[in-house]
């Protein structure tokens, strides 16, 4: 995909997201003019950008949406949920189309029909009875609605209708960084402008030079939509009137001034496009597109292009066409001299205009594809692994180097490289950090649609959306959160009548809370619904044979709740199309664990449910504690390790088949890793090495052969045949070239019991 198209897709996605958010906010407060303006601007920008490419269904649909928004903005059409529905549908459709553009650089064949139907529905809302339809700006004939030339505007050398813009910036414009005069001076097609002074100036001593007192009137030959785009950021401070001079004769035979200016601009842009793409591989594409543009311009100004396009040398034909068009578009001399004549000297105007436009503001943001950052991250990871080889090197040198000088130097170098690679890694991590709001704001829509469908009244509250985490983690989180929110809406929150009957506010609340806790990011999904019925969960788990009665008898209520994460448990009798068949919570838990997080649930019957997910800030480089089991080295994520202890085998207590040990007044179940991995038994050792790990809030002790130092490693997921071994979360390469298997602790603890 060419860079321009890729940028269009990326920007449009951002704009659609912003527009969706504004729409949902508007539904809460339809009077919020700021939101309407923001929404209008977003849609307007998408339309403008789409027009650059040949995606007419997209442009057409968004144009209809823009017109609808314009009437809403003007107060002609009220903003209702039905209007929001259609507009949201339009945004969804745009997302689909952008997907298509991204995949195949074109829209599917059915796009035209879908676009037409959708535009009709959007326009039907504008044309609803009693509501005046807004004419399409670019297509309306300006002369038909043009007003007579106002007295305060001098006669100007223009033909046909032009636009008179009245721009009254707010008094505080300077404080928001605006320079209205610059905006006026850079207006497209500007012919004349005037500073409108206030009715009375304050005395020089009372004058506050940082408040704006003046306004502007200006005349432009540019089409109105171009002017609207130019003034889009101050749209509420600008009014437009189409005016035409009183003595204006028939413009028959001559090209309309607006059209001429537009055609001329197009010609200039096509020239620069051709000049810029000389040696590019996209040249063919470029010349073809220029040819199409020129043909359309010619059609618009009724000029016949000769000769026919020479497919062997399109550039030559295009050059001829440009000369032909250039000559045709040259402006005829004004017949009557205007009141204000301007001397016909070679102007240095463009130069001064450039200077007046003051220093250009450099864009301080870079849009880089995440693949490039991933590549950088992988390289930094490799560097960290390579660095890990240095201690091995030092060890080797120790045996050969008697003075120890070489060893010292290797260690010193290791420290330096260690520091730099850690800084490099954290710098890259910073780039990859994105705020949670990137996904959390999306669920507004989900909550709205579901609550409408189910007839429940729900407010969605997000707290701590600025909390940042690695992009990979944030992206992976989207799916689990969707499940959790759906569950809350479908199973948790009651309908308004039930809620009122149980003395709760009519409107239920779903609260998503994000915050950072040490090296992790915590995400809580809370609802104030009916909570989870622990007895029902236990009964279901027994019925499905997921647990046995014995285990249930010994279970604390908090532990019993965790049963909802077991595969195949659903407490709702009928299956709903919204949250599926009870695979939700199981899927959520496994998704969270897959990215190295843990999940727990807390619920109070009648009061609500809280689900807490704790996730690593980043998935890239992890610190692992190495342990030895039967001659093999294994890694355990260090944030899961609670403590490492040597215990006497006599301190182990046994209950049936289970072994446990009391450490610091806590009873910790033990897992003999050797027997789990089917390693041959060794003669009974009196002292055992126990690593206590925390899995989903529950502690277990792993009996291993030996502890080894910690290591920074990148865990790569298991691939191929190995991927079916659930008890490993992945592999990591060690500095000496050996492979370390990272243990999937949840699975290991599960294995112990099954």
Partner 1 sequence: MPISLNDDCALLEGYIDITDVDILHPWLQQNPTSAVDVSDCTGAHTAVVQLLIATSATVAGAEGTEDWRQYLTAGSEFYVKEKA
Please give the full DSSP string across 261-272, using - where no structure is assigned. Answer: HHHHHHHHHHHH
Region of 344-352, 504-512, 666-674, 722-730 interacting with partner 1 (CB under 8 A):
344-352
| Residue number with CB closer to partner 1 (308 or 333) | 333
Residue of 250, 276, 306, 358 interacting with partner 1 (CB under 8 A): 358
Query: Does 233 interact with partner 1 (rule: CB under 8 A)?
Result: no
Say how far residue 18 (Cα) sits from the centre of its chain: 9
Question: What count of other Cβ atoms lies within 10 Å of the Cβ of residue 338?
Answer: 13
Indicate the burial class of 611 (C-beta count within 10 angstroms; 0-12, 13-18, 19 or more): buried
Residue of 313, 352, 426, 516 interacting with partner 1 (CB under 8 A): 352
Residues in a beta bridge with 39: none
Query: Does 355 interact with partner 1 (rule: CB under 8 A)?
Result: yes
User: What is the smallest separation between the CB atom of 345 and partner 1, expressed in angstroms?
Assistant: 8
| Residues in 11-40 at the binding interface with partner 1, rule: CB under 8 A | none
Indicate the burial class of 262 (C-beta count within 10 angstroms; 0-12, 13-18, 19 or more): buried
Rounded CA-CA distance 206/209 in Å is 9
| Residue number with CB closer to partner 1 (182 or 648) | 182
User: How many residues belong to the site for partner 1 (CB under 8 A)?
Assistant: 44
Rounded CA-CA distance 294/300 in Å is 10
| Residue number with CB closer to partner 1 (199 or 655) | 199
| Residue number with CB closer to partner 1 (130 or 177) | 177
User: What is the smallest separation between the CB atom of 374 and partner 1, expressed in angstroms?
Assistant: 43
Cβ(386)–Cβ(735) below 8 Å: yes
What single-letter DSSP state applies at residue 75? T
| Residue number with CB closer to partner 1 (258 or 608) | 258
* Contact track, partner 1, 153-182, x by CB under 8 A: -x-xx---------------xx---xxxxx
What single-letter DSSP state applies at residue 469? E
Per-residue burial over 300-334, b = 16 or more CB atoms within 10 Å of its CB, e = otherwise = ebebebeeebeeeebeebbeebbebbeebbeeeee
Residue of 74, 124, 133, 347 interacting with partner 1 (CB under 8 A): 347
Question: What count of other Cβ atoms lies within 10 Å of the Cβ of residue 595?
Answer: 18
Residue of 1, 103, 141, 357 interacting with partner 1 (CB under 8 A): 357
Query: Does 342 interact with partner 1 (rule: CB under 8 A)?
Result: yes
Residue of 349, 574, 631, 681 interacting with partner 1 (CB under 8 A): 349
User: What is the smallest separation between the CB atom of 204 and partner 1, expressed in angstroms?
Assistant: 5
| Residue number with CB closer to partner 1 (340 or 369) | 340
The torsion angles phi and psi of 505, rounded to 5 degrees, stand at -60, 145
Query: Does 269 interact with partner 1 (rule: CB under 8 A)?
Result: no
Residue of 172, 186, 356, 649 interacting with partner 1 (CB under 8 A): 356
| Residue number with CB closer to partner 1 (221 or 224) | 221
Rounded CA-CA distance 555/718 in Å is 35
| Residues in 183-222 at the binding interface with partner 1, rule: CB under 8 A | 185, 190-195, 197, 201-202, 204-205, 207, 209-210, 212-214
User: What is the smallest separation between the CB atom of 114 and partner 1, expressed in angstroms?
Assistant: 44
User: What is the smallest separation between the CB atom of 340 and partner 1, expressed in angstroms?
Assistant: 6
Per-residue burial over 571-591, b = 16 or more CB atoms within 10 Å of its CB, e = otherwise = beeeeeeebeebebbbbbbeb
Say how far residue 145 (Cα) sits from the centre of its chain: 43
* Contact track, partner 1, 307-336, x by CB under 8 A: ------------------------------
Rounded CA-CA distance 290/124 in Å is 36
Rounded CA-CA distance 329/327 in Å is 5
Query: Does 124 interact with partner 1 (rule: CB under 8 A)?
Result: no
Q: List residues near partner 1 by CB under 8 A.
A: 154, 156-157, 173-174, 178-182, 185, 190-195, 197, 201-202, 204-205, 207, 209-210, 212-214, 340, 342-349, 352-353, 355-359
């Amino acid at each position: 995909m060419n860079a321009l198209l890729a940028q269009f897709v990326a920007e449009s996605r951002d704009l659609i997201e912003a527009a969706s958010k504004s729409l949902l906010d508007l539904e809460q407060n339809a009077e919020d003019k700021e939101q309407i303006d923001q929404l209008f601007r977003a849609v307007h920008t998408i339309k403008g950008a789409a027009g650059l490419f040949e995606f007419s269904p997209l442009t057409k649909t968004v144009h209809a949406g823009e017109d609808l928004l314009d009437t809403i903005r003007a107060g002609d059409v009220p903003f209702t949920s039905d209007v929001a529905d259609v507009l949201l549908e339009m945004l969804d459709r745009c997302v689909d189309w952008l997907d298509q553009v991204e995949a195949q650089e074109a829209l599917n064949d059915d796009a035209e029909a879908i676009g037409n139907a959708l535009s009709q529905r959007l326009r039907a809302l504008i044309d609803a009875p009693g509501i005046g339809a807004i004419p399409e700006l670019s297509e309306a004939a300006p002369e038909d609605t043009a007003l007579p030339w106002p007295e305060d505007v001098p006669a100007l050398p223009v033909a046909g209708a032009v636009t008179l813009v009245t721009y009254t910036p707010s008094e505080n414009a300077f404080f928001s960084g605006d320079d209205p005069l610059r905006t006026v001076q850079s207006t497209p097609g500007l012919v004349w402008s005037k500073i409108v002074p206030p009715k009375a100036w304050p005395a020089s001593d009372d004058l506050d030079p940082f408040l704006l007192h003046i306004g502007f009137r200006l005349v432009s030959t540019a089409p109105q939509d171009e002017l609207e785009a130019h003034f889009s950021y101050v749209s509420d401070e600008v009014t437009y009137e189409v005016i035409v001079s009183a003595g204006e004769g028939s413009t028959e035979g001559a090209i309309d001034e607006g059209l001429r200016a537009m055609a001329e601009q197009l010609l200039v842009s096509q020239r620069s496009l051709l000049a810029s793409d000389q040696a590019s591989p996209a040249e063919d594409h470029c010349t073809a597109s220029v040819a199409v543009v020129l043909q359309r311009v010619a059609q618009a100004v009724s000029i016949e292009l000769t000769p026919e396009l020479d497919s062997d040398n399109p550039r030559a034909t295009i050059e001829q066409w440009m000369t032909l068009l250039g000559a045709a578009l040259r402006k005829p001399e004004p017949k009557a001299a205007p009141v204000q004549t301007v001397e016909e000297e070679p102007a240095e105007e463009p130069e001064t205009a450039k200077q007046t436009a003051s220093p250009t503001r450099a864009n301080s943001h870079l849009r880089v594809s995440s693949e490039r950052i991933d590549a950088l991250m992988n390289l930094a990871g490799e560097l960290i692994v390579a660095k890990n080889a240095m201690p091995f090197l030092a060890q080797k040198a120790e045996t050969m180097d008697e003075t120890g000088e070489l060893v010292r130097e290797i260690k010193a170098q290791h420290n330096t490289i260690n520091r730099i690679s850690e800084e490099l890694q954290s710098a890259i991590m910073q780039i990859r950090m994105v705020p949670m709001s990137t996904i959390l704001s999306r669920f507004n829509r989900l909550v709205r649609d579901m609550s409408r469908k189910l007839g429940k009244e729900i407010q969605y509250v997000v707290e701590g959306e600025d909390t940042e985490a690695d992009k990979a983690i944030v992206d992976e989180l989207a799916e689990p959160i969707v499940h959790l929110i759906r569950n809350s809406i479908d199973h948790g929150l009651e309908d308004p009548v039930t809620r009122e009957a149980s003395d709760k506010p009519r409107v239920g609340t779903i609260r998503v809370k994000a915050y950072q806790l040490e090296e992790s990011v915590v995400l809580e999904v809370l609802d104030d619904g009916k909570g989870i019925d622990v007895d029902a969960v236990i009964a279901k788990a027994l019925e499905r044979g997921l647990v046995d009665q014995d285990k249930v008898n010994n279970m604390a209520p908090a532990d019993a709740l965790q049963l909802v994460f077991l595969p195949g448990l659903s407490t709702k009798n009928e299956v709903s199309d919204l949250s599926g068949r009870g695979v939700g919570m199981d899927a959520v838990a496994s998704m969270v664990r897959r990215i190295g997080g843990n999940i727990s649930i807390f619920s109070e019957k009648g009061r609500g449910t809280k689900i807490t997910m704790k996730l690593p800030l980043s998935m890239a480089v992890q610190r692992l504690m190495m342990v030895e089991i039967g001659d093999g080295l294994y890694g355990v994520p260090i944030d899961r390790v609670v403590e490492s202890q040597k215990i006497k085998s006599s301190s182990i207590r046994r209950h049936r088949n289970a072994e446990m040990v009391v450490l610091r007044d806590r009873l910790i179940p033990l897992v003999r890793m050797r027997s789990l991995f089917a390693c041959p038994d060794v003669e009974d050792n009196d002292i055992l090495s126990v690593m206590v790990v925390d899995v989903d809030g529950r502690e277990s002790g792993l009996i291993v052969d030996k502890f080894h130092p910690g290591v920074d490693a990148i865990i790569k997921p298991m691939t191929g045949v190995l991927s079916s071994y659930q008890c490993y979360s992945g592999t990591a390469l060690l500095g000496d070239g050996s492979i370390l298997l990272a243990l999937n602790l949840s699975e290991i603890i599960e294995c112990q019991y099954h």
